[in-house]
Structure 1
Amino acid sequence: MSAQLPALSIREMTTMNEKIKVALIYGSIREGRYCDIVAKWTCSQIRARDGYTLDIVDPATLSLSPPLERGVNPDLEDLRERLEQADAFIIVTPEYNHGYPAPLKHLIDSVNKEWQAKPVAFVSYGGVSGGLRAVEQLRQVFVEVHATTMRNSVSFANAWEQFDERGNLYAPVRAEKSMEMMLAQLSWWASALKDARNSIPYSIVAT
């Protein structure tokens, strides 16, 4: 009888292969947005763990509106290249009026094949719902662009009451545990889907 292999730890799951390229996408462009605080915390959590590289995509810094004249939009071309290089995505989104922000939808719709056969995870914030209604709507959007969304997410209800003036959580244990589980799922799917894309191009089944 062969010996049973020990279960891999979450840290081992993210370091056994090459680093996973994560594109972290801001969901808000509002002036004074709370997204900066939540995204900063999310980035610190990712950087504290081995096995990832991080690219921050902020729609507030991009001009994605189609030009009136024909020609190349440099920001759109840059976005396509950055998302194409990513193995996985993390969306940091607020909930506005029971939904997600329009600039985030515009960013998603501005590209196409770059999302395909890649995993998407969510960190949300808002009032009593913690942004979960926005996340549920985004799941429907991402399935249409052939992306795979993670079951686990991180959410902050009444987020402005959970962070201090430096952007640190008053009670970090629960959120850090949720982040660890979400990243474990994201890592598994990123590795599995990358192997699948390299084996069989997803374009042959995308419609």
Structure 2
Amino acid sequence: MSEHRYTLAVIVGSTREGRFAPVVTDWFTRHTANHRDIDVDVIDLDTIRPYELRYGSEEYDAFAERVAAADAFVVITPEYNHSFPAPLKHAIDLLRAQWQAKPVGFVSYGGISGGLRAVEQLRLVFAELHAMTVRETVSFALAGNLFDDDGQLHDPAPAHQAADALLHQLGWWALALRDARAARPYGA
């Protein structure tokens, strides 16, 4: 593996029936294919089922290993009632050291705010875990109106530009923090 490649875990935060998250996730992961230095691991909480994870179980250990193996994260979150989904909070809270000294970016969607209120709250949660959130985000206000029936954006340029800025920042921090953790293990 090239020293400039990194593993990006894309965490799909919604588990609701009929969720819009797969549309946003598919768009984002297709876009990351343009960045050849990224290995993507999609961690869909609908599949992981965080409320069923029990410490020491195979499923818990597999989830913890995937988070630990990531050099950076993108959390894809909707905004529900001015916040982020409860299963996402539970999944984050299941682990601690696996998040530390790693960068986190956000792709959000929702009503008129585009999920940004959920993102601001998630920044506080990740700060407590000693993770570093990047400033650039991708936000989809009234997301259902922005995508066609095939999951393609009607006007892709602004979202692609925002995603590139996000991935540029994440990549820099992912490599810098990976090097720092290798040189001197992080202890909180």
TM-score by length of 2: 0.96
Is 2:50 aligned against 1:61?
Answer: no
Counterpart position of 2:38: 52
User: CA separation in 2, counterparts of 1:139 and 1:74?
Assistant: 29
Report if the CA contact (8 A) 1:88-1:118 is conserved.
Answer: yes
Is 2:120 aligned against 1:120?
Answer: no
- The total of aligned residue pairs comes to 188
Equivalent residue in structure 1 for 2:139, among 131, 136, 155: 155
Equivalent residue in structure 2 for 1:197, among 171, 178, 181: 181
Judging changes above 3 Å, is the alpha-carbon distance between structure 1 residues 134 and 200 closer, same or farther for their aligned structure 2 residues? same
Judging changes above 3 Å, is the alpha-carbon distance between structure 1 residues 67 and 156 closer, same or farther for their aligned structure 2 residues? closer
Is 2:69 aligned against 1:85?
Answer: yes
SS at 2:127 equivalent: helix
Judging changes above 3 Å, is the alpha-carbon distance between structure 1 residues 160 and 66 closer, same or farther for their aligned structure 2 residues? closer
Counterpart position of 2:81: 97
SS at 1:196 equivalent: helix
Counterpart position of 2:16: 30
User: CA separation in 1, counterparts of 2:166 and 2:111?
Assistant: 22
Q: Cα distance, 1:67 vs. partner?
A: 7.0
Is 2:156 aligned against 1:172?
Answer: yes
SS at 1:151 equivalent: strand
Q: Where do 4+ consecutive residues of structure 1 move more than 2 Å? A: 63-68
Cα RMSD (Å) of the superposition?
1.6
Q: Cα distance, 1:18 vs. partner?
A: 3.1
Counterpart position of 1:10: none
Q: Cα distance, 1:65 vs. partner?
A: 3.3
User: CA separation in 2, counterparts of 1:196 and 1:93?
Assistant: 29
User: CA separation in 1, counterparts of 2:57 and 2:5?
Assistant: 30
User: CA separation in 2, counterparts of 1:202 and 1:20?
Assistant: 18
Bigger-Rg structure (1/2)? 1
Percent identical across equivalent pairs? 47
User: CA separation in 2, counterparts of 1:50 and 1:67?
Assistant: 33
SS at 1:96 equivalent: coil
Q: Cα distance, 1:63 vs. partner?
A: 3.8
AA aligned to 1:28 is S
Counterpart position of 1:73: 57
